[in-house]
Amino acid sequence: MGFVTFIGAGPGAADLITVRGARVLAHADVVLFDALTDPALRATAPDARWIDVGKRGFARSADQTAINALLVRMAREHAQVVRLKGGDPSLFGRLEEELQALAAAGIECEVVPGITAALAAAAAAQRPLTRRGRGRSVSLVTAMTRQGELQATRCADSEVFYMAGKQLGALPRRLLAQGWAADTAVCVVSRAGWPDQLISQHHIHTLPQATMLHAGHPTVVTVGTAAEAVAVAAPAMPMGPNPRAAGVATVSS
Ligand SMILES: C[S@@+](CC[C@H](N)C(=O)[O-])C[C@H]1O[C@@H](n2cnc3c(N)ncnc32)[C@H](O)[C@@H]1O
């Protein structure tokens, strides 16, 4: 009987995996990976068998039951199985179902955490998720439920919506119904951590303008205090192009 390690690959570029994650991945016999993991990670375990079990939203849905069964079968056939998930395995990653399947089959496992998309987006946009004195709580929420509705009231100073790309047109109505003001800051980040990441700044009432900008890309939407740009004093040095910002596009509306 093999051992399964769930590894959070991080949100984008291969070097956003943790050191521990990369170390365990390097010893894998077989890797079951998701759509949003970087293909460059294959170089870490070139001799392993890599199996794509990816799915995106509810559109192209690989059957979760089939993934569970494959995971169990691989663990019976191989010593070291890695289940590589985008971001962190514990967030919107169906980890519960896969842990249950392994437990039911008597297979041991561990979870190596990863950098979730909300954290990568906050880093990309340089918008801290908490702010001293006025941003004390953040909630991580799925924008895409089977019922298509958000809960009735907002529950934190800032909310980060996952699986939000196709919901940008519908979100304003739902946010206003939750009690957010129309001029609340909203920051939209797609492909955070990748060379083509895109950051756009809006208010709730202008959020639909983000739809075309981020179309087809994994997107998180931050609403509230954490979406506000950090106030800066006049620059002490002359402004110039920042070579580290190459490949980062920023848009405001
Ligand atoms: C099924 S969830 C998986 C989340 C993942 N477990 C995590 O911790 O980030 C997929 C959603 O995560 C968000 N996401 C993942 N990678 C992203 C990225 N690089 N940039 C922006 N959003 C991302 C998007 O909202 C996407 O629809």
pLDDT digits (tens, 9 = 90+) for 63-74: 899 999 999 999
Residue in the block written with tokens 């740009």: 229
Residue nearest to ligand 1 atom 5, measured at CA: 87
Which CATH architecture is the domain 117-252 placed in? 2-Layer Sandwich (3.30)
Q: Is the confidence at residue 244, as pLDDT, over 70?
A: no
Q: What is the mean pLDDT of the chain?
A: 89
Residue 50: how many CB atoms within 10 A of its CB? 17
Distance from Cα 228 to the centre of ligand 1, integer Å: 21
Query: In this predicted structure, what is the pLDDT of residue 145?
Result: 66
Instruction: Tell me where in the chain the CATH 3.40.1010.10 domain(s) lie.
Output: 3-112
pLDDT digits (tens, 9 = 90+) for 143-198: 876 665 666 678 899 999 999 888 899 899 999 999 999 999 999 999 999 989 99
Query: In this predicted structure, what is the pLDDT of residue 62?
Result: 62
Instruction: Tell me where in the chain the CATH 3.30.950.10 domain(s) lie.
Output: 117-252
Q: Is the confidence at residue 59, as pLDDT, over 50?
A: no
**84 pLDDT band (50/70/90 cuts)?**
very high
Catalytic residue among 15, 55, 166, 183: 55
CA dihedral 160, 204, 219, 16 (to 10 degrees): -50
Topology of domain 3-112 in CATH is: Cobalt-precorrin-4 Transmethylase; domain 1 (3.40.1010)
Residue in the block written with tokens 């985008």: 86
SS3 content of the chain, % helix, strand, coil (to 5): 30, 25, 45
Q: Which residue out of 64, 88, 90, 92 has the highest number of ligand 1 atoms within 8 Å of its CB and is therefore the one to mutate?
A: 92
208 HSE (CA, 13 A, CB side): 7
Residue 166 annotated among the catalytic residues of the structure: no
Query: In this predicted structure, what is the pLDDT of residue 54?
Result: 83
Tell me, using a 6 A CB cutoff, whether residue 36 lines ligand 1: yes
Tell me, using a 6 A CB cutoff, whether residue 167 lines ligand 1: no
Q: How far apart are CA 140 and CA 100, in angstroms?
A: 23
Ligand 1 atom closest to residue 89's alpha carbon, by position in its atom list: 6
**36 pLDDT band (50/70/90 cuts)?**
confident
- Show the DSSP H helices in 105-207 as ranges: 117-125, 171-177
Tell me, using a 6 A CB cutoff, whether residue 12 lines ligand 1: yes
Residue 34 annotated among the catalytic residues of the structure: yes
